[in-house]
Amino acid sequence: AQSVTQLDSHVSVSEGTPVLLRCNYSSSYSPSLFWYVQHPNKGLQLLLKYTSAATLVKGINGFEAEFKKSETSFHLTKPSAHMSDAAEYFCVVTLSGTYKYIFGTGTRLKVLA
């Protein structure tokens, strides 16, 4: 069965410092993986996705994520946090041949001035 675990429910960083949001997945076969961002009172916006091409995926707003099969991880990173990055981030896994998208419980990122 597929599952996804976001290891931190809350992360606080200072503006200008690196961001690391952790995601581990469980899947029997090659998954597709996504990161979405949700700003307050807004819908979810796609940041980036991995679908078995390059393992390092670059997304919007300077975010990137690396697919590590050996560690079953898909952590989201950004070299330098900006105040506008404060939001909730969701890691999502889906399995080829199915319609199910499994969402993590979310990580709330706080950026301190």
| Interacting residues toward other proteins by CB under 8 A | 32, 34, 36, 41-46, 49, 51, 90, 94-101, 103-106
Q: Least distance to other proteins from the beta carbon of 98, Å? A: 5
Place of tokens 């889906």: 94
Task: Please identify, using beta-carbon distances, which residue of 43 and 113 lies nearer to other proteins.
Answer: 43
Task: Please identify, using beta-carbon distances, which residue of 15 and 95 lies nearer to other proteins.
Answer: 95
How many whole angstroms from its chain centre is CA 106?
9
Task: Please identify, using beta-carbon distances, which residue of 43 and 56 lies nearer to other proteins.
Answer: 43
Q: Least distance to other proteins from the beta carbon of 84, Å? A: 18
Task: Please identify, using beta-carbon distances, which residue of 13 and 36 lies nearer to other proteins.
Answer: 36
Q: Least distance to other proteins from the beta carbon of 41, Å? A: 8
Q: Least distance to other proteins from the beta carbon of 80, Å? A: 26
* Gap between the Cα atoms of 104 and 4, Å rounded: 5
Of 63, 47, 66, 46, residue with least CA distance to 55: 66
Where is 4: in which H helix or E strand? strand 3-6
Of 109, 62, 71, 68, residue with least CA distance to 90: 109
